[in-house]
A = this chain, B = another copy of it.
Amino acid sequence: MSLDHAATKPHERLAAALADDMAAVNDMIAARMASEHAPRIPEVTAHLVGAGGKRLRPMLTLAAARMCGYDGPFHVHLAATVEFIHTATLLHDDVVDESDKRRGRPTANLLWDNTSSVLVGDYLFARSFQLMVETGSLRVLDILANASATIAEGEVLQLTAARNIKTTEDTYLKVVRGKTAALFSAATQVGGVIAAAPEDQIAALYAYGDALGIAFQIVDDLLDWQGGAGIGKNIGDDFREGKLTMPVIRAIAAGDTTDTVFWTRTLEKRVQETGDLEHALALLQQHGTLDSTRDDALMWAERAKDALNALPDHEIKGMLTDLADYVVARLV
C-alpha cells in the first residue's frame, strides 16, 4: 500500500474508481424499486436503501466486470440485481430476527410491520429476476438463482443450528457461505460472466468472492466476542441469542464435561446469569479459539488475494487485494 492509499479505505477507492458506474446503479435501483400501484413499496425500500451501507456487493460486480474489460451496459443491471437480492434478504432477516435496528436506524418491520417487510422483500426479489432477464444471460440467472437458494438454505440451517451445541465447524461454514459468501461470490462471478471472461478468470472471481465473504463473516462473528471500533453491536449478542459461531464451536469441542454443562445451560436452555459471558470468554481464551479463528480469517483473506493472481493486471485488482486485507484488518 502506498502512502496516499493509506489515507482512504479500499472500498472508498473502489467507489471513486467506479463512481460513474455506481451512479448508474443508484439510478437503476431508484427506477426499479418504484411501483406504480403500491406506494408502500418504494417507501419501505427507500428507508433501507437510503440508509446507505457501503454497497459493497454491487461494487464487487462492477469491479469484476471492469477488470475483465467489460464496457457495459449490463454490469449495471447485475449490480442493481445483487443489491436488490441483498436488500430483500435484509428485509426478511429483520422479520426472522425480530430486529429493531439496522444500520443504526429503526428496521422496516418496526416502522411499518412484518407484513410489509415480507412482501416488499418478495417484490425486490422478483424485480431482481426481471433485471437479470434483461441481460439475456441464462448463465447469470443460473448463478444467481443458485445463490438465492443457498442463501435461504443457509438461513434455515442457521435457525436449526442455533441453540444446538452439537453444531459442527462444517455446519458453521455452510451457514457462513449461505448468509454472506454466496452473494459475494455470485456478485463477482456474474461480473466475469457478463464480460465473457475466460473460464479460469470466472472461476478466480468466484473464488475471490467466496473467500472474501467467508473472511468477512468470520471477522464479524469474532468481533461479537472481542469488540472493535465502530461495529455498532454489543459484545456477547450472539452468546445471549444462543448463536454458535466458530470460537464457541471450537471451545465446546475442546471442553470437558463441566464445560458441556455450562454450554448446555447457557446456549441450549438459554438460562444465563451474571458472569456467564465472562466465563464463556474465559473458556474461549483458555482453548485459544479466538486466536485460531482469527488465523482462519487471515487464511481466507490470503486465499481471496491468491485467487486474484489469475486475473489481468488492472488498477482495480490492487484495490480488491487491499479490500481483502482491510476486511481482516478490523481484527488486528
Contact = CB atoms under 8 A, between A and B. Distances in A.
Contacts of A171: 37
Interface stretch (A122-130, A190-198, A210-218): A122-130
A153 to B, nearest CB: 5
A141 B138 CA distance: 9
A298 B120 CA distance: 33
Interface in A144-166: 145-146, 148-149, 151-157, 159-160
A153 B38 contact: yes
A126 B148 contact: yes
Given A41-B153, A96-B119, A118-B118, A145 B160 contact: no
Contacts of A264: none
A4 to B, nearest CB: 43
Given A40-B159, A95-B95, A159-B116, A151 B138 contact: no
A92 interface: yes
B125 A122 contact: yes
B159 A130 contact: no
Interface size class of A (residues with CB under 8 A): 35 or more
A142 interface: yes
A96 B41 CA distance: 15
Contacts of A37: 153-154, 157, 171, 174
A161 to B, nearest CB: 9
Interface string A100-143: 00000000000000111011101101110110110010100110
Given A38-B156, A38-B160, A126-B145, 4 more contacts: A38-B157, A40-B156, A119-B155, A138-B138
